[in-house]
Amino acid sequence: MWAWQAGGVLTMTPQDFDDAVGDALDNVPAQFLGLMNNVVFLVEDEPPSDDPELLGVYDGTPLTERDGGWAAGALPDHLPRTNASDLQDA
């Protein structure tokens, strides 16, 4: 598996990619993390079949559309990120 980085291509194992995602999340400023609740970050092996070039997208209810009873029984928002292996043919 590989991913582009400034100056060349970076070879990564699936675990390396998962670790890189974790490192990126660890570096999100606390002021922004404090604004996120009921959110799940996912790394998926394949992009959606209806959009094979998609690398990731927010799926949830925007804060501007939530009301006082929104969280009752709501599933978490999620941010799927397609695994870098999908970039091999790019």
Domain ranges of the chain: 18-61+72-90
Domain 18-61+72-90 has CATH 1.10.287.130: no
pLDDT of 11 > 60? The answer is yes
CB 88 within 8 A of CB 17: no
> How confident is the model at residue 90, as a pLDDT?
43
pTM metric for this prediction:
0.56
> Model confidence over 22-74: pLDDT tens digits?
898 899 898 988 887 777 887 877 777 888 777 777 788 777 887 777 667 77
CA torsion angle 48 49 53 59 (round to 10): -20
Using DSSP, how many helices (H) and how many strands (E) does the chain show? Answer: 2, 4
